[in-house]
Amino acid sequence: MEFKAKDIAALLNGTVEGDGEVRLNNISKIDQGVPGTLSFLSNPAYTKYIYTTLASAVLVSKGFSPESTLSCTLIRVDDPYAALAQLLKMYQEMNPEKSGIEQPSFVSSSATIGENLYLGAFAYISDHAKIGKNVKIYPQVFVGDHVVIGDNTILYSGVKIYADCRIGSDCILHAGVVIGADGFGFAPNENGPYSKIVQIGNVILEDFVEIGANTTVDRATMGSTILRKGVKLDDQIMIAHNVEIGENTVMAAQSGVAGSSKVGKNCVIGAQVGISGHLVVGDNVKLGGKAGVMTNIADNSTMIGAPVQDFKDFMRSMAIFRKLPQMSVDVSDLKKWMNKIEQH
């Protein structure tokens, strides 16, 4: 599919600076641009590449001022990254949509199916499940008994949703996601193996939740494990039983939240963060990668480290830590000097 730069600018409510007739048939990173592609500049660290890129056109902010001659056409927009996201969404919507029920697949006679369902081969819809309108269920998905799935939700291949869980509208669950497996509940015995505590709760995903590949969200022991509206989880994340994640919180890969902890809204959680059980993380909190959270965290905090601490304190500590080898040498020299004085 090919478009002129001026047509893309019109779609994005942008303006063209340069050759508006240049034809574009793909998208490329600015440091790997090739002729015929559209690139974008949103991170100032990549500004140097705009002077050497081979991309035919580049999305830039309206305030961008080049410091030397450019060979590419500029498409000026309010926010290049947001404009790119809008463009990619438009491109995706142009692709033909999956539709119909493929065979072999199974739909229980007691299940309720909404209009315009796509059901891939080898998918299984269990008893009394309720599927909304315009839902896409890709091959090898399992939907358990009494599961509710809202309108416009997408379940990619291999998603497993255990009984009684509720998935909102406009959600996206990527390949291998497991919703509603048992929480990690076992009672220790004095003389023998652990006894399993039956998990009778469920998982609730509110609207506009997106969950990355191979992430797991465990059902509650009692009540619900809840991901509030707009939560975004990366790949390979573990959310334990009875956890609640607040609206619009985002969490990067390989992080984990232990049982019964509550994470507030609008939080940004880096990769490989571990949050212990029965804690409260406030609203608007930022946690740096590999943070180890073992205490409650107040609203609007920015924390890092294991155990976690205030970001500024952590950076000051690291500045001292880097000096420890030389400080060790200095202390050793000082001890030698003091020994000499004592000997005299």
Note the pTM of the prediction, 2 decimals: 0.83
Active site residue 146: no
Picking from 162, 122, 133, 170, the residue whose alpha carbon sits closest to that of residue 146 is 162
The alpha carbons of the chain give a radius of gyration, in whole angstroms, of 27
Instruction: Please give the pLDDT value at position 343.
Output: 80
- Which contiguous run of DSSP H or E holds residue 82? helix 80-94
Q: How far apart are CA 267 and CA 300, in angstroms?
A: 9
Residue 287 to residue 104: CA distance in whole angstroms: 46
Same fold, 3-94 and 100-313: no
pLDDT at 4: 93
- Position 338 scores a pLDDT of 87
DSSP string, 237-262: -EE-TT-EE-TT-EE-TT-EE-TT-E
| DSSP annotation string for 273-309 | -EE-TT-EE-TT-EE-TT-EE-S-B-TT-EEETTTTE
Please give the backbone phi and psi of residue 232, each rounded to the nearest 5 degrees, phi first.
Answer: -125, 120
Give the tokens for residue 125.
């819809």
Fold of 3-94: 3.40.1390
Q: For 344, which DSSP code?
A: -
Answer yes or no: are the C-beta atoms of 5 and 20 closer than 8 Å.
yes
Q: Which amino acid does the sequence have at 35? A: P
- 100-313: which CATH architecture? 3 Solenoid (2.160)
Domain boundary assignment for the chain: 3-94, 100-313, 314-343
Place of tokens 């009494």: 146
| Annotated active-site residue in 128, 146, 174, 241 | 241
pLDDT by residue for the chain (344 residues), tens only, comes to: 789 999 999 999 999 999 999 999 999 999 999 999 999 999 999 999 999 999 999 999 999 999 999 999 999 999 999 999 998 888 777 777 888 999 999 999 999 999 999 999 999 999 999 999 999 999 999 999 999 999 999 999 999 999 999 999 999 999 999 999 999 999 998 888 899 999 999 999 999 999 999 999 999 999 999 999 999 999 999 999 999 999 999 999 999 999 999 999 999 999 999 999 999 999 999 999 999 999 999 999 999 998 988 878 888 888 888 888 888 888 888 888 888 888 87
Which contiguous run of DSSP H or E holds residue 59? strand 57-61
